[in-house]
């Protein structure tokens, strides 16, 4: 029998039978066949099988291994409550239809009364969400508000009249009052069970239980009211409510069995049930207003008391809500940790404090390893569960006064204050790593997460909060590169080293891109060539301009392989243009050379190899060098530049006019082109000095038979002024911005076919 009922068909059949029974009873009630006596018999007889079924089904839930242990324990107590109902209905049937005993209270009344405390306990035992103390306080207030409202309604309808009713013994009075009080307990427990869930949707069994309790409580209240004003006879309309309530219990118990274990926590909107306390208080106040208008206060003291308590509760709840709003602005919704705003604020505060020995401040930046695969494989709920677990690990490690926050995604920051020494920060990081290693249970999965941590200790009062965070970030990257699952302190060495390694990886790993800025004939706008300008498509920081990494590359020497890479990529791309459109053969390609590259002994060989490899003709290539290269012309360097010239390559002096080029050197160097720096072009319209520098450079170019190219032309007036001076070639945003390779190729193709 056990397995039979557990496997389902029997359960489904009994639920169906109960539904049929309910339909038959209701039909009978409204049909009135066979007179009152038969009607009552049908009604009272309908209860017994329903009660039997819901009791058995509740026991089935309590025994089911598919349910969580806490759910099973709660349902065991609920099954007891159901059992009391079963006993009540059986004995009612016997006393009404077999022994015909009258008398109040009867054994059935005692059993009915027992239902409430068991059900109360069972509902409260249902698993809710683990909560912080503050949340528990709010929940208590919400439930008490519902309770106070319910109490007032009960007082108005029943408790007041019961206390006032003439001719009742003390015992009868208490017993009559006990049923509505039990109902109030049920309402309290049911609201607690529903309100303490964070999920926006309430599970079906809980809704069914709530529906059943609503029907039962309404019926109980009506029953007591009828008893107060006369005598209740079975088979009257409250029975319809009770029976419907019983049927809902049947379905609830069946549904609960079919529900698998809960999945992990879910980030929720607010549970819509939160309106309950507000609705209860409104209802109570409406009743109060209605009362006070035409009834003496005397027996209705409970209403007054109720409303006073209610007012206090609502006020306390509002205070909580206010505090919540304030906190919500600086709290991460998922984990309850501080959000980025609060972390940034605190960092700024830290940066303003003096540095005291024995009171170090440190920032730990924590990044979960392998978080993305968990999210991708098991879904966002699993990812959220991991983030919540990580947040808890952080809470367990920090002390009062420290701050843990989530910066976004799987990145967290922990601010540690008053550390006796630098090393204590590392110890905290080690403890955190250990705490984070605890596996996260998600449904049937055991998820293993680890983290990498970067630690930056504030040692310089000048360090801003932002810098401190950046330092922790650098250390974090170092920890990740060193193999993850570990922590690393920030140090200056680490900083440059880490960034250099990053850059070299970028060169090797195809993270660099070459953009092309077209150079045009100023008068006709005809395309003459393009300058190659490097960009770094950084996996974390996005597209970076040369300003963000060229200096570092110069400093560390990474510029040499980087420069070679750019030259090769640019020549290959430009050779592609030539191959695609014959009209593109006249176009020139300019590539920047850094002083470090010019200082390399194998420069000429490198350039030759690249030209040979890519098939780009040497006489279409211009290499741009900076003024600093020609400032102290070393014979070796001059020899190298001459060798490049001998290959047919042209040499341009970039940003001309900003350094201290000596005219005499310029003359003796194998330079073919001068590029007027953008700063002079910018001032050409309104700055007389800038204008005369431009004029001077144009004249100088003429005298030395050099090509002059104006850079950074942003407006038509600037272009016109340059044309007036006799400058013929220019580049700038007015014509084209630096373009990604595909767009540059399209521009070249359009021009070349127009010419062709
Ligand atoms: P540059 O060689 O003088 O390049 C011209 C810079 O001016 C480019 O900046 C370009 O985007 C910008 N520019 C062009 N027209 C305008 C304009 O009308 N208005 C304004 N405001 N700016 C304009 P970018 O690409 O940021 O490059 C900066 C510098 O980085 C370059 O100056 C060059 O010195 C260096 N660089 C770029 N690529 C390389 C490379 O592959 N190797 C080496 N060694 N240096 C490079
Ligand atoms: Mg340049
Ligand atoms: Mg320039």
Q: How far is the CA of 591 from the centre of ligand 2 (A)?
A: 7
Is 712 near ligand 1, meaning CB less than 6 Å away? yes
> Hey, which residues does 488 pair with through a beta bridge?
454
Q: How far is the CA of 533 from the centre of ligand 1 (A)?
A: 6
pLDDT digits (tens, 9 = 90+) for 557-594: 889 999 999 999 999 999 999 999 888 999 999 999 99
Nearest to 598 by CA among 539, 538, 643: 643
How large is the average pLDDT for residues 207-229? 85
Lookup: tokens for 61: 């839930």
Looking at all shown ligands, the one closest to residue 655's CA atom is 3
| Dist. CA 252–CA 239, nearest whole Å | 20
What does the pLDDT read at residue 139? 84
Question: Which residue, by CA, sits nearest to atom 28 of ligand 1?
Answer: 546
Is 677 near ligand 1, meaning CB less than 6 Å away? no
Q: How far is the CA of 308 from the centre of ligand 1 (A)?
A: 75
How large is the average pLDDT for residues 743-748? 96
**Contact, 82 vs 75, CB < 8 A?**
no
Is 563 near ligand 1, meaning CB less than 6 Å away? yes
Is 109 near ligand 1, meaning CB less than 6 Å away? no
Largest CA distance in the chain: 131
Atom from ligand 1 closest to the CA of residue 738: 11
Is 738 near ligand 1, meaning CB less than 6 Å away? yes
List Cα–Cα distances, 465 to 125, 344, 346, 354, 426, in angstroms.
Answer: 47, 7, 8, 13, 19
Q: How far is the CA of 755 from the centre of ligand 2 (A)?
A: 27
Cis peptide before 351 (omega within 30 of 0): no
**Contact, 475 vs 455, CB < 8 A?**
yes
- Phi/psi zone of residue 370: left (φ > 0), alpha (ψ -120 to 50 degrees), beta? left
The burial of 258, by beta-carbon neighbours within 10 Å (0-12 exposed, 13-18 middle, 19 or more buried), is given as: middle
For the ranges 71-75, 227-231, 291-295, 492-496, the one whose mean pLDDT is highest: 71-75
What does the pLDDT read at residue 115? 94
What does the pLDDT read at residue 165? 79
Looking at all shown ligands, the one closest to residue 507's CA atom is 1
Looking at all shown ligands, the one closest to residue 732's CA atom is 1
Is 654 near ligand 1, meaning CB less than 6 Å away? yes
**Contact, 475 vs 489, CB < 8 A?**
yes
Percentage of residues in the chain having pLDDT higher than 70: 89
Is 518 near ligand 1, meaning CB less than 6 Å away? no
Best mutation site among 512, 516, 534, 546 for ligand 1 pocket (most ligand atoms within 8 Å of CB) = 546
C-alpha torsion 676→681→686→688, nearest 10:
0
What does the pLDDT read at residue 695? 93
Is 607 near ligand 1, meaning CB less than 6 Å away? no
Q: How far is the CA of 675 from the centre of ligand 2 (A)?
A: 8
Q: Is the pLDDT of residue 1 over 50?
A: no
* Radius of gyration of the CA atoms of the chain, in A: 42
Q: What is the mean pLDDT of the chain?
A: 86
What does the pLDDT read at residue 193? 87
Is 727 near ligand 1, meaning CB less than 6 Å away? no
List Cα–Cα distances, 494 to 389, 428, 472, 475, in angstroms.
Answer: 31, 21, 11, 7
What does the pLDDT read at residue 367? 94
Cα 456 to the center of its chain, rounded Å: 25
Q: How far is the CA of 504 from the centre of ligand 1 (A)?
A: 21
Is 419 near ligand 1, meaning CB less than 6 Å away? no
For the ranges 397-401, 659-663, 677-681, the one whose mean pLDDT is highest: 677-681
b (16+ CB within 10 A) / e for 384-400: bbbbbbbbbbbeebbee
**Contact, 314 vs 281, CB < 8 A?**
yes
- Please list the alpha-helical segments (H only) found in 94-132: 107-125
Q: Is the pLDDT of residue 453 over 90?
A: yes
**Contact, 136 vs 195, CB < 8 A?**
no
Q: Is the pLDDT of residue 515 over 80?
A: yes
| Dist. CA 589–CA 620, nearest whole Å | 6
How large is the average pLDDT for residues 75-104? 91
Is 95 near ligand 1, meaning CB less than 6 Å away? no
* Number of neighbouring beta carbons within 10 Å of residue 176: 22
Q: Is the pLDDT of residue 59 over 90?
A: yes
Q: How far is the CA of 731 from the centre of ligand 1 (A)?
A: 11
Question: Which residue, by CA, sits nearest to atom 25 of ligand 1?
Answer: 533
Q: How far is the CA of 655 from the centre of ligand 3 (A)?
A: 4
How large is the average pLDDT for residues 176-205? 84
Nearest to 281 by CA among 320, 311, 315, 317: 311
Top pLDDT among 543 and 658 is at: 543
Under DSSP, the state recorded for 225 is: H
Question: Which residue, by CA, sits nearest to atom 4 of ligand 1?
Answer: 533
Nearest to 43 by CA among 31, 18, 25, 23: 25
| Dist. CA 719–CA 676, nearest whole Å | 13
Question: Which residue, by CA, sits nearest to atom 17 of ligand 1?
Answer: 712
Under DSSP, the state recorded for 129 is: -
Looking at all shown ligands, the one closest to residue 738's CA atom is 1
Atom from ligand 1 closest to the CA of residue 714: 18
Is 733 near ligand 1, meaning CB less than 6 Å away? yes
Nearest to 413 by CA among 329, 339, 498: 339
- Whole-model pTM? 0.47
Name residues whose C-beta falls within 8 Å of residue 43's C-beta, 6 or more positions apart in sequence: 25, 28, 29, 234, 235, 239, 243
Top pLDDT among 364 and 322 is at: 364
Do β-strands 650-656 and 621-626 pair in parallel, antiparallel, or remain unpaired? parallel
Atom from ligand 1 closest to the CA of residue 713: 18
What does the pLDDT read at residue 297? 45
Lookup: tokens for 634: 């070393």
Atom from ligand 1 closest to the CA of residue 559: 44
Q: How far is the CA of 466 from the centre of ligand 1 (A)?
A: 28
* Number of neighbouring beta carbons within 10 Å of residue 229: 10
Q: Which of 260-274, 554-568, 595-609, 623-637 has the lowest mean pLDDT?
A: 260-274
Q: What φ, ψ does residue 284 adopt, rounded to 5°?
A: -65, -40
C-alpha torsion 81→83→89→92, nearest 10:
-90
What does the pLDDT read at residue 252? 92
Is 534 near ligand 1, meaning CB less than 6 Å away? yes
Question: Which residue, by CA, sits nearest to atom 8 of ligand 1?
Answer: 533
Question: Which residue, by CA, sits nearest to atom 42 of ligand 1?
Answer: 592
Top pLDDT among 163 and 300 is at: 163
| Dist. CA 203–CA 87, nearest whole Å | 29
Is 561 near ligand 1, meaning CB less than 6 Å away? no
Percentage of residues in the chain having pLDDT higher than 90: 44
The SS3 of residue 451 is strand
- Phi/psi zone of residue 103: left (φ > 0), alpha (ψ -120 to 50 degrees), beta? left
pLDDT-derived band at 459 (thresholds 50, 70, 90) equals: confident
Is 545 near ligand 1, meaning CB less than 6 Å away? yes
| Dist. CA 456–CA 491, nearest whole Å | 8
What does the pLDDT read at residue 274? 63
Looking at all shown ligands, the one closest to residue 546's CA atom is 1
Lookup: tokens for 684: 């050409």
| Dist. CA 106–CA 333, nearest whole Å | 54
Q: How far is the CA of 605 from the centre of ligand 1 (A)?
A: 26
């Amino acid at each position: 029998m056990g397995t039979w009922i557990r496997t389902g068909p029997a359960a489904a059949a009994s639920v169906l039978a109960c539904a049929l029974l309910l339909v038959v009873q209701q039909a009978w009630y409204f049909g009135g066949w066979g007179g009152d006596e038969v009607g009552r018999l049908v009604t009272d007889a309908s209860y017994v099988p329903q009660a039997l079924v819901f009791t058995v089904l509740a026991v089935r839930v309590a025994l089911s291994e598919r349910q969580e242990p806490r759910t099973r324990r709660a349902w065991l107590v609920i099954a007891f409550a159901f059992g009391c109902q079963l006993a009540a209905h059986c004995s009612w049937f016997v006393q009404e239809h077999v022994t015909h005993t009258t008398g109040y209270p009867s054994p059935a009344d005692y059993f009915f009364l027992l239902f409430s405390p068991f059900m109360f306990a069972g509902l409260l035992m249902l698993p809710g969400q683990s909560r912080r103390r503050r949340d528990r306080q709010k929940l208590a207030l919400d439930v008490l508000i519902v309770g106070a409202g319910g109490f007032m309604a009960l007082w108005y309808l029943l408790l007041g009249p019961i206390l006032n009713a003439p001719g009742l013994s003390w015992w009868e009075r208490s017993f009559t009052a006990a049923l509505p009080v039990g109902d109030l307990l049920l309402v309290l427990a049911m609201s607690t069970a529903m309100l303490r869930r964070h999920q926006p949707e309430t599970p079906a069994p809980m809704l069914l239980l709530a529906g059943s309790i609503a029907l039962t409580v309404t019926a109980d209240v009506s029953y007591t009211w009828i008893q107060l004003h006369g005598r209740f006879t079975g088979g009257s309309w409250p029975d319809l409510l009770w029976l419907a309530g019983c049927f809902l219990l049947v379905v609830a118990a069946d549904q609960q069995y079919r529900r698998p274990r809960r999945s992990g926590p879910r980030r929720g909107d607010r549970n819509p049930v939160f309106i309950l306390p507000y609705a209860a208080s409104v209802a109570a106040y409406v009743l109060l207003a209605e009362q006070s208008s035409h009834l003496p206060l005397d027996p209705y003291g409970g209403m007054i008391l109720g409303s006073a308590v209610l007012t206090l509760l609502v006020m306390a709840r509002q205070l909580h809500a206010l505090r919540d709003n304030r906190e919500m602005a600086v709290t991460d919704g998922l984990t309850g940790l501080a959000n980025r705003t609060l972390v940034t604020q605190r960092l700024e505060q830290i940066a303003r404090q003096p540095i005291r020995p024995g009171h170090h401040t440190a920032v730990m930046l924590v990044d979960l390893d392998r978080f993305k695969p968990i999210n991708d494989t098991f879904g966002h709920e699993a990812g959220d569960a991991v983030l919540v677990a990580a947040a808890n690990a952080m809470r367990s490690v920090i002390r009062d006064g420290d701050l843990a926050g989530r910066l976004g995604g799987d990145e967290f920051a922990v601010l540690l204050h008053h550390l006796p020494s630098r090393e204590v920060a590392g110890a905290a990081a080690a403890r955190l790593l250990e705490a984070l290693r605890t596996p996260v249970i998600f449904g049937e999965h055991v998820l293993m997460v680890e983290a990498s941590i970067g630690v930056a200790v504030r040692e310089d009062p000048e360090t801003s909060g932002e810098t401190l965070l950046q330092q922790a970030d650098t250390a974090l990257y170092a920890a990740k590169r060193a193999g993850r699952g570990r922590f690393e302190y920030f140090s200056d060495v680490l900083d440059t080293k880490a960034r250099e390694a990053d850059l070299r990886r970028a060169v090797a790993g195809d993270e660099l891109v070459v953009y092309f800025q077209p150079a045009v004939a100023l008068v006709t706008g005809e395309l003459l060539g393009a300058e190659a300008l490097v960009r770094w498509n950084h996996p974390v920081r996005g597209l970076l301009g040369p300003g963000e990494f060229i200096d570092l590359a110069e400093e560390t020497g990474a510029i040499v392989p980087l420069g070679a890479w750019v030259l090769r990529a640019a020549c290959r791309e430009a050779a592609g243009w030539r191959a695609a459109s014959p009209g593109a053969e006249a176009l020139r390609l300019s590539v920047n050379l850094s002083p470090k590259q010019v200082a390399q002994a194998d420069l000429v060989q490198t350039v030759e190899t690249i030209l040979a490899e890519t098939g780009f003709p040497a006489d279409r290539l211009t290499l741009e060098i900076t003024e600093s290269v020609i400032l102290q012309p070393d014979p070796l360097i001059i020899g190298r530049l001459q060798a490049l010239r001998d290959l047919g390559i042209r040499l341009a002096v970039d940003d001309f006019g900003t350094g201290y080029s000596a005219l005499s050197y310029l003359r003796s160097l194998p330079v073919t082109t001068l590029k007027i720096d953008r700063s002079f072009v910018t001032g050409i319209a309104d700055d007389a000095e800038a204008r005369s520098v431009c004029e001077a450079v144009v004249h100088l170019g003429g005298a030395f038979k050099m090509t002059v190219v104006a850079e950074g032309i942003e407006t038509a007036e600037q272009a016109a002024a340059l044309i007036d001076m006799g400058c013929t070639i220019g580049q700038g945003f007015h014509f084209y911005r630096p373009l990604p390779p595909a767009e540059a190729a399209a521009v070249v193709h359009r021009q070349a076919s127009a010419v062709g």
